[in-house]
Chain A
Amino acid sequence: MTSLPATTEKRLGLVIDLDTCVGCHACAVNCKEWNSGAQASPLSDVDAYGADPSGAWLNRIHTFEVTPADAPAQIVHFPKSCLHCDDAPCVTVCPTGASHKRSEDGIVLVNEDMCIGCGLCAWACPYGAREMDPVENVMKKCTLCVDRIYSETLAQEDRIPACVRTCPSSARHFGDFNDPESNVSVLVAARGGIELMPEMGTKPVNRYLPPRPKTKAAPRPDPARPAASACAATPKAEGFLGWLDAALDRLG
């Protein structure tokens, strides 16, 4: 059993905007590319060119179809990675201390030198956010790119997780949830950011911004409403070409 810090100085995490995510997988692939080349062991792929390719990923995009009762079916793309929970069951279940949550910033990490590959943490995580590396036999998970955000060699603007830096539609945001003025706290307040599965009691740090309501079949507008000044007025009784005369008169 490994203990959790009672509080953490910062609570670093992600806000993921489901209203903006187009499901392009950019975050997942750049994450794998960065983290496979990081100080930790690679994120391996087995049967890479064969019948059943699989590999370790720290972030995956899931796609759901939702069919509201009164609107057309819609698709929601749902990127999922470790949520860096305050009450992280993957930490408390770890028999070696490899899985731990940092007191300074709340990031949940795995010390691969101590990981025995027992897989208990993956069983304990209700989100399925941990993956056993098929070659290295150690547990892999999102690090919030801890080797980027504290890097002294990267430019200041690049000290953010790879997934956030690469996201083409700016659907991913990184910051400190303990700071009410941070970009992530402001977004969550403005857009009603939600916890994932709060009933599990894990107190996840990451938040998701829900899709905004879609346009439904709105009532038919009044076709006789006055048209805008810039484009002249409603046609007169003599029809479109009559309207045209009036419009041209206004142009002078």
Chain B
Amino acid sequence: MNQTSGAQGTADGGIRKTTCYMCACRCGIDVHLKDGKVHYIEGNRDHPINKGVLCAKGSAGIMQHYSPARLRKPLLRTGERGSGEFKEIEWDEALGLATTWLGEVRRTDPRKLAFFTGRDQSQSMTGWWAQQYGTPNYAAHGGFCSVNMAAAGIYTMGGAFWEFGAPDWDRTELFMIFGVAEDHDSNPIKIGLGKLKARGVKVIGVNPVRTGYNAIADEWLGITPGTDGLLILALAHELLRTGRIDVDYLIRYTNAPWLVIDNPDGADHGLFARGEDGTPLVAHRATGEIASSATPGIKPALKGTFGLPDGRQATPVFELLAGKYLDPAYAPAAVAERTGIAADTIIRIATEIAEAAFEREVIVEQPWTDMKGERHARMIGRPVAFHAMRGISAHSNGFQTARALHLLQILVGSIDCPGGFRFKPPYPRPVAGQPRPHGGACADTALAGPHLGYPRGPEDLLLEADGETAQRIDKAFSWDAPLSAHGLMHMVISNAHARDPYGIDVLFLYMANMAWNSSMNSTSVMQMLTDKDESGNYVIPKIIYSDAYSSEMVAFADLILPDTTYLERHDCISLLDRPISEPGAMCDSIRWPVVEPDRDVRGFQSVLLDLGARLKLPGMTDAEGKPVYADYADYMVNHQRKPGIGPLSGWRGTDGSKTGRGEPNPDQLQRYVDNGGFSEAHVPAEALYFKHANRAWSDWAIAQGLQDGPVENIFQLYLEPLRKFQLAARGKIKPAAPEHHQSRIAACFDPLPCWYPPFLEDGLDEDAFPLHAITQRPAAMYHSWGSQNAWLRQIHGENALYVPGAVCDRAGLEDGDWALLTSPSGEIRAPVRRMDAVNGSTVWTWNAIGKRSGAWALDTDAPEATRGFLLNHLIDELLPPKGDGRRWANSDPITGQAAWFDLRVSIRKDPDQSGGESLPRAKPQKNPVGAAPSTVSHGRERAQ
């Protein structure tokens, strides 16, 4: 017991290499064991994601593993919903009950199961299960996370920011980061920022709040929330105005030359002119002659009006685009007041972007061949990189804003070039290579295809025969949210409660805290979960929930299926799902039980396969009715989505010699374990850039099983599917949009990226609600998970409302005062802290720190419950009623993404400063897992 006594041995007991799950970053970790117990966790130096480093959450994983909030055994509700009163039951009883409930629904009306998985990293498996079950009601949490970012990226260029692409950290000359606060890819971004700092590359942070990455940015633009699209389009205006765009790139890789039909009263107005084979047409620049856009070597016109052979007129996309963004409405001076960014600053930054892109071009001496067969002597890059995340996407204008940012990247030619933004395998994967959504539901029948997909137009919506009623409980792929590629998990409980479009029988959730921080308007959601009908039955009759910890949602379930911690389980981080690839390598990884559970708990995916076998679901039972898979590990090795393609890409083939495609290998998991838990296949040098148009990439991706054949990926500056919805809104094409949707679709579904004010501002009394209110995710806490963590809660055990100094002065607020924060739909009481490094009309707080008393095995007087608070109580899932009496979803109208950051508030000092507690407070829930210890002495058992 002496600091001076020299080196401790770390390796006795061994090091086991697996994958972190303290957030969605999925770093490689070395778990040091001692006496068979988890002793120390550090980053895996060989791992492609984190290269040895590990964040605060990852290091504190050890306290999550030993959390007193871990569930211990299946639970059956004994008290009223929400009370937290349960009795422990055996797994046989739990699985028998779940099978009875789910079996009855499947035999009668599979729609009456809503199965939604929250921060699930096994969506390819849970989605497949739901498809085999036959309910149309499945999605994960993307709808309330950042689907705007994902959908805008896929529709525009076949890839997205999120964790699906990355800046070329080693080569970029200018980096601009929008609305990112410790979101996805957190360690890679920190590693990358470190590289930029070491090279002296300028970092520009665009965020209302100057913390974290924005704190070290060389320049900070404290933008007004919801106006990022205006700033971006003003930058585009400047680049166009000064002619600093990459015209060659636009002609080669985008639909800039494609001809758009000009036929104002026709059903084809604004659609692409196409040849007989459906290929879009262009006009020869020199002759005006109409030709296929696929004609090799063609030099197409970018401006002008051309007569099509059938007499119609058409104009290239680029002329429409230039005309739109050169409009004075997008001039820097015109957007300065609204964005809070001075016109001079916008002009200067446009110049900096152009200088980096065109005067510091990066050349990689690597010949390559494009998809049209042209050989290029080298790879020429425009070294400007952008990254963006939830800050720009969690708005009702987020889809178009994310599209606008991709437009900006494409105008300067910086997508997948040296120094620009790079796709990570399996991306790029454009809409042409993506499924359409599948719905429909028949008793005892599997769904025809995957639930989630990318509609090409109104014809792909999931509607009932009336052309209006949604097929899905969350109304995804309906007129409410046509391109809702990730579903709308945040609407499930309120729609099920309202029985709109229909009531359900079983709500089955996995690791999503929908009774608390993952829902808008948490208080009313808790009410919906406990409401009863006239016969005294719950309106949502049965709730099954799986989680590893005693969260707020646990208290509202009827049946709890306790999951393991991340160190006790098998998982695959699959290329079929959300892989861990890096731009230069196709990667996937596993988790495996580095220690066995000491509780009567089971990995959720194994439980789901067990339920599937009990329900005799196709693919999960063989001809004799026996289970196909023993457990999730068995599935990971032996499941094949297509012949030769399974959840894991490494060491396939009977002898493990194949990568990507190959027969199942019974030793595959051991090979992963032996390799440190991951597989990494390097992209060939000729395929490293221009993947959207690179023959070597296409050939390699096909060989690896990432795609079945060549997929054309022309960047869609002009997005025709949106135009089809506009035509449907005018009744020009079928199905036609219902009348009450028409004006919104006409205004928001602009085929060229546009900006419109956040919906909440429509009719808002600006004087009554002058401030914006947003959250930021702290670097040392992930959603609600961290509060049970003895170390992390010492860092973020409570949250304050950060208020600009001038706002404090006006309201007479000082540090530590209690303020009342009021929105159009609610009021909360929160402790104030003064701050100046924030947009002057914005208040903010850390995300998901506030807890319900009694949850997470914390003492009932824990500061998370007494002083912590959520903004969720101020946000309604519906907008205030408008003139037509309808209430619209508080979501993006295109994708349905929850518009968390549209929130508007007013602030005043609470006249009663006497109480030291935040409001509202929910009645405490009973803790079903027993009291936590008062003292933690990690390492004590080892020292003795």
Of the stretches A1-9, A35-43, A84-92, A198-206, the one at the interface is: A35-43
CA distance A234 to B348 in the complex (A): 16
CA distance A44 to B861 in the complex (A): 21
The smallest C-beta distance from A182 to any residue of chain B, in angstroms, reads 17
B265 is an interface residue with CB less than 8 A from chain A? no
A109 is an interface residue with CB less than 8 A from chain B? yes
| Residues of chain A with a CB closer than 8 A to B247's CB | 231-232, 244, 247-248, 251
| Residues of chain B with a CB closer than 8 A to A41's CB | 1, 940, 943
Do the beta carbons of B194 and A171 come within 8 Å of each other?
yes
Do the beta carbons of A248 and B302 come within 8 Å of each other?
yes
CA distance A251 to B251 in the complex (A): 10
B657 is an interface residue with CB less than 8 A from chain A? no
Do the beta carbons of A49 and B857 come within 8 Å of each other?
yes
Do the beta carbons of A217 and B837 come within 8 Å of each other?
no
CA distance A225 to B900 in the complex (A): 42
| Residues of chain A with a CB closer than 8 A to B792's CB | 29
Do the beta carbons of A235 and B241 come within 8 Å of each other?
yes
User: Which of B1, B8, B358, B942 is within 8 Å of A112, CB to CB?
Assistant: B1
Do the beta carbons of A24 and B56 come within 8 Å of each other?
yes
Which B residues lie at the A interface, using CB under 8 A? 1-11, 34, 39-43, 45, 50, 52-60, 62, 68, 182, 186-187, 190-191, 193-195, 197-198, 202, 204, 210-220, 222, 240-248, 251, 285, 299, 302-303, 318-319, 322, 326, 342, 344-345, 347-348, 351, 354-355, 357-359, 361, 779-780, 788, 790-795, 797, 835-838, 857-859, 861-863, 866, 932-940, 942-943
Give the most central of B39, B186, B837: most A CB within 10 Å.
B837
Give the most central of B8, B212, B943: most A CB within 10 Å.
B8
Do the beta carbons of A228 and B355 come within 8 Å of each other?
yes
Residues of A56-92 at the interface with B, using a CB-CB cut-off of 8 Å, are 57, 65, 67, 72-77
List 22 A-B residue pairs with CB atoms under 8 Å apart, sorted by A's residue number: A24-B212, A25-B780, A33-B41, A33-B62, A36-B937, A37-B938, A39-B943, A45-B936, A47-B934, A57-B794, A74-B215, A75-B210, A168-B50, A168-B194, A169-B193, A170-B194, A171-B194, A230-B246, A231-B246, A231-B247, A233-B243, A244-B302
Do the beta carbons of A25 and B795 come within 8 Å of each other?
yes
CA distance A247 to B213 in the complex (A): 38
Do the beta carbons of A235 and B837 come within 8 Å of each other?
no
Do the beta carbons of A22 and B780 come within 8 Å of each other?
no
Knowing A153-B7, A221-B351, the reply to whether A228 touches B244 (Cβ < 8 A) is yes
CA distance A45 to B791 in the complex (A): 8
| Residues of chain A with a CB closer than 8 A to B50's CB | 168
CA distance A154 to B940 in the complex (A): 22
The 9 closest A-B pairs by CB, nearest first: A228-B358, A168-B190, A49-B932, A73-B836, A24-B779, A215-B219, A151-B7, A169-B194, A25-B56
Given contacts A39-B6, A151-B7, 9 further A-B contacts (CB under 8 A): A49-B859, A50-B858, A67-B836, A168-B53, A217-B344, A220-B344, A232-B247, A244-B247, A248-B299
Do the beta carbons of A214 and B56 come within 8 Å of each other?
no
Give the most central of B10, B322, B358, B359: most A CB within 10 Å.
B10
Do the beta carbons of B215 and A23 come within 8 Å of each other?
yes
| Residues of chain B with a CB closer than 8 A to A248's CB | 247, 285, 299, 302
CA distance A72 to B210 in the complex (A): 10
CA distance A19 to B242 in the complex (A): 34
B210: nearest chain-A partner, CB-CB: A75
The smallest C-beta distance from A9 to any residue of chain B, in angstroms, reads 17
Which A residues lie at the B interface, using CB under 8 A? 17, 19-26, 28-30, 32-34, 36-55, 57, 65, 67, 72-77, 109-113, 135, 143, 146-148, 150-154, 157, 162, 165-171, 211-212, 214-215, 217-218, 220-221, 223, 227-235, 240-241, 243-244, 247-248, 251-252
Give the most central of A45, A65, A168, A247: most B CB within 10 Å.
A168
Do the beta carbons of B933 and A48 come within 8 Å of each other?
yes
A218: nearest chain-B partner, CB-CB: B348
CA distance A61 to B55 in the complex (A): 13
Do the beta carbons of B10 and A154 come within 8 Å of each other?
yes
A75: nearest chain-B partner, CB-CB: B215
A41: nearest chain-B partner, CB-CB: B1
| Residues of chain A with a CB closer than 8 A to B322's CB | 240-241, 244
Do the beta carbons of B2 and A231 come within 8 Å of each other?
no
Do the beta carbons of A73 and B344 come within 8 Å of each other?
no
A139: nearest chain-B partner, CB-CB: B3
A159: nearest chain-B partner, CB-CB: B7
CA distance A166 to B44 in the complex (A): 10
CA distance A161 to B867 in the complex (A): 36
| Residues of chain A with a CB closer than 8 A to B8's CB | 37-39, 147, 151
User: Which of B60, B303, B354 is within 8 Å of A227, CB to CB?
Assistant: B354
| Residues of chain B with a CB closer than 8 A to A72's CB | 210, 220, 222, 836-837
The smallest C-beta distance from A79 to any residue of chain B, in angstroms, reads 12
| Residues of chain A with a CB closer than 8 A to B212's CB | 22-24
| Residues of chain A with a CB closer than 8 A to B780's CB | 24-25, 29
User: Which of A30, A49, A169 is within 8 Å of B858, CB to CB?
Assistant: A49
Do the beta carbons of A150 and B6 come within 8 Å of each other?
yes
Do the beta carbons of A162 and B345 come within 8 Å of each other?
no
Do the beta carbons of A74 and B242 come within 8 Å of each other?
no
| Residues of chain B with a CB closer than 8 A to A17's CB | 197
Knowing A24-B55, A75-B211, A112-B3, the reply to whether A227 touches B42 (Cβ < 8 A) is no
The smallest C-beta distance from B796 to any residue of chain A, in angstroms, reads 9
B344: nearest chain-A partner, CB-CB: A220
Do the beta carbons of B182 and A227 come within 8 Å of each other?
no
Knowing A38-B8, A168-B194, A220-B344, the reply to whether A227 touches B242 (Cβ < 8 A) is yes
Do the beta carbons of B862 and A50 come within 8 Å of each other?
yes
A28: nearest chain-B partner, CB-CB: B56
A32: nearest chain-B partner, CB-CB: B791
| Residues of chain B with a CB closer than 8 A to A48's CB | 790, 932-936
| Residues of chain A with a CB closer than 8 A to B197's CB | 17, 19-20, 169
| Residues of chain A with a CB closer than 8 A to B863's CB | 51-52
| Residues of chain A with a CB closer than 8 A to B45's CB | 157
The smallest C-beta distance from A225 to any residue of chain B, in angstroms, reads 8
CA distance A42 to B11 in the complex (A): 19
| Residues of chain A with a CB closer than 8 A to B932's CB | 48-50
User: Which of A46, A230, A231 is within 8 Å of B935, CB to CB?
Assistant: A46
Knowing A41-B943, A143-B3, the reply to whether A55 touches B794 (Cβ < 8 A) is yes
Do the beta carbons of B68 and A49 come within 8 Å of each other?
yes
Knowing A22-B215, A240-B326, the reply to whether A167 touches B345 (Cβ < 8 A) is no
The smallest C-beta distance from A109 to any residue of chain B, in angstroms, reads 5
